[in-house]
Amino acid sequence: MVNNTHTIRSHYSCEVTSELEGKNITLAGWVHEIRDLGNIKFLVLRDRYGIIQLTAKKGETPDSLLSLINELNRESVIKVEGRVVASSQAPGGREVIPSQITLLNPALSPLPLDVTGKVSADLDTRLNNRFMDVRRPEVAAIFIIRSKIQEAFREYFLSNDFIEINTPTIIAAASEGGTNLFPLSYFEREAYLCQSPQLYKQMMMASGLDKVFITTPVFRAESHNTTRHLNEVFQMDIEKAFIRDEEDVLIHLEEVVHFIYKKVKEECKNELAILGREIKVPKLPFTRITYDEVLDKLADKGMDIPWGEDLSTEAQKLICREIKEPFFIKHWPTHVRSFYSRPLDDDPKRCGAFDLMFDGIELASGAQRIHEEKELVRQLENRGLNPENFEFYLKAFRYGMPPHGGWSIGAERITQVITGMNNIRETVLYPRDRTRLTP
């Protein structure tokens, strides 16, 4: 039973079952479609959970009600009181015979896009009218699944004794080095939109709150225009102290991805069906291969990448076709990873960094972090960064910083993989990219 307490409706469409036949109920939603066959009118009402048919017959339905139906525009908001009856031809096998229809708010005509899906619209038109686009069941399904993904993320880490924290989105220095930052005026000084909560969650490892997770927006001023990148994304991060190596945080990543898939598969059956998706819960543990092994596999396929270079999009797709299940790429060259990635004790040219790959996409990345201040300073200087700009961060490493590590997974990326969307903008209500700042 859906909780309808303190609303004008008594039931959602999904709750109109055979047990309600012969009973009077109150529905509320949008006019999805109207079909006028002369002596009989069909009005399809849509709400959050689906559609239900209202049937009004001349001679049985008051003329005033028939006239009101004639005057309704599609997507107008209405409340309906009526009796539930069985109907083999109605969606779900039941329909409602209305005794009263109240127009709560009329919709203008013509509509900016067709909610029924009979007339297609390009992505820009849909995004410009997102409030209406989400009325389409297949679009709403994406965001119901995304909500379940974020719920599962929180549920897993709360049940594993992690503490949820909140970090600032306005910062004074780059989180990961580089210049891909959005500057802003902050009173008498310059500040930036946060590109990662990384430095702040690391600092918490010195606080005694030794297992934390975060869900937060981050901003990256990169001038790309692809189907896989955005300039504002929603990260789901963790950091954990007193670890032996990267495996002690990597294990949480594979377990939470497994848990997310399981929860979506079990609790979003209707949404997956609307999208025509059948998802497979990945088996644990995930495969682990090293960066060097990836280069060897790519070379065998005719793609030669010099040691020390990052993997191109084409390389990622090729290796994912070779390894069809989710897998980790470990032990990356130290110089291609962020300055805080800890070099391996027995092989400093490589570090304890890892990426989670699946379906041609890098879903997540993380590492064991450097916990010694001198090494952090050395790595900053090696990359041309001024340690003085990171004083607030380095201070936390002078008074007892334990070994630690963590990772980040993008809510948009995992939603894109699970829902099968070709464009990551489909997984964001109001995407921000190189050209889009409104709505």
* Residues 104-131: tens digit of each pLDDT: 999 999 999 999 888 999 999 999 999 9
Query: What is the pLDDT, as a whole number, of residue 175?
Result: 56
Q: What are phi and psi of 202, to 5 degrees?
A: -65, -45
pLDDT band at residue 179 using 50, 70 and 90 as cut-offs = low
Query: What is the pLDDT, as a whole number, of residue 174?
Result: 64
In angstroms, what CA-CA distances link 159 with 99, 234, 256, 264, 364?
49, 22, 11, 18, 21
pLDDT band at residue 319 using 50, 70 and 90 as cut-offs = very high
On whether residue 26 sits in a domain, the answer given is yes
Of 105, 120, 144, at which residue does a domain stop?
105
Residue 21's domain is classified under what CATH number? 2.40.50.140
Residue 318 · residue 302 · CB < 8 Å: no
85 and 141 both lie in a single domain: no
141 and 97 both lie in a single domain: no
* Residues 346-404: tens digit of each pLDDT: 999 999 999 999 988 899 999 999 999 999 999 999 999 999 989 999 999 999 999 99
62 and 204 both lie in a single domain: no
> Alpha-carbon distance 355 to 329, whole Å?
5
pLDDT band at residue 177 using 50, 70 and 90 as cut-offs = low
Query: What is the pLDDT, as a whole number, of residue 38?
Result: 86
> Alpha-carbon distance 422 to 230, whole Å?
14
Query: What is the pLDDT, as a whole number, of residue 226?
Result: 85
pLDDT at residue 431 greater than cutoff 90: yes
In angstroms, what CA-CA distances link 121 with 124, 130, 135?
8, 12, 14
Q: How many CA within 13 A on the CB side of residue 284?
A: 13
Instruction: Quote the radius of gyration of the chain (alpha carbons, Å).
Output: 27
Query: What is the pLDDT, as a whole number, of residue 229?
Result: 87
148 and 34 both lie in a single domain: no
Residue 11 · residue 4 · CB < 8 Å: yes
On whether residue 393 sits in a domain, the answer given is yes
On whether residue 1 sits in a domain, the answer given is no
* Residues 324-337: tens digit of each pLDDT: 899 999 999 999 99
Identity of residue 20: L
In angstroms, what CA-CA distances link 108 with 42, 71, 74, 77, 103?
21, 12, 9, 11, 13
Query: What is the pLDDT, as a whole number, of residue 223?
Result: 85
- Total domains in the fold of the chain: 2
176 and 80 both lie in a single domain: no
Average pLDDT on 74-83 reads 97
> Alpha-carbon distance 333 to 386, whole Å?
22
274 and 375 both lie in a single domain: yes
Residue 142's domain is classified under what CATH number? 3.30.930.10
On whether residue 117 sits in a domain, the answer given is no
Query: What is the pLDDT, as a whole number, of residue 191?
Result: 92
> Alpha-carbon distance 11 to 7, whole Å?
10
Of 105, 123, 155, at which residue does a domain stop?
105
276 and 315 both lie in a single domain: yes
* Segments forming the whole domain that contains residue 54: 13-105
Query: What is the pLDDT, as a whole number, of residue 127?
Result: 97
pTM of the complete model: 0.94
91 and 209 both lie in a single domain: no
Residues in the chain: 439
Query: What is the pLDDT, as a whole number, of residue 293?
Result: 97
Query: What is the pLDDT, as a whole number, of residue 346?
Result: 96
Query: What is the pLDDT, as a whole number, of residue 273?
Result: 96
42 and 166 both lie in a single domain: no
On whether residue 5 sits in a domain, the answer given is no
For the chain, the maximum distance between any two Cα atoms, rounded to a whole number of angstroms, is: 88
In Å, how far from its chain's centre is CA 362?
Answer: 14
Average pLDDT on 307-311 reads 95
Query: What is the pLDDT, as a whole number, of residue 2?
Result: 74
- Sign of the C-alpha dihedral computed for residues 168, 172, 177 and 180 taken in this order: positive
Q: 């790429």: which residue's tokens?
A: 329
Which of these, 370, 290, 369, lies nearest to 323 by C-alpha position? Answer: 290
312 and 381 both lie in a single domain: yes
Residue 424 · residue 229 · CB < 8 Å: yes
Q: What are phi and psi of 433, to 5 degrees?
A: -135, -165
Residue 126 · residue 133 · CB < 8 Å: yes
What percentage of the chain reaches a pLDDT higher than 90?
90
232 and 346 both lie in a single domain: yes
Neighbour-count burial of 157, counting CB atoms closer than 10 A to its CB (0-12 exposed, 13-18 middle, 19+ buried): buried
Query: What is the pLDDT, as a whole number, of residue 103?
Result: 97
Which of these, 195, 214, 201, 212, lies nearest to 150 by C-alpha position? Answer: 214
Query: What is the pLDDT, as a whole number, of residue 211?
Result: 98
Residue 110, preceding peptide bond in cis (omega within 30° of 0): yes
Mean pLDDT value across the chain: 94
On whether residue 295 sits in a domain, the answer given is yes
* Residues 210-261: tens digit of each pLDDT: 999 999 999 999 888 888 889 999 999 999 999 999 999 999 999 999 999 9
Residue with more model confidence, 150 or 389: 150
On whether residue 3 sits in a domain, the answer given is no
On whether residue 436 sits in a domain, the answer given is no
250 and 299 both lie in a single domain: yes
Average pLDDT on 287-305 reads 96
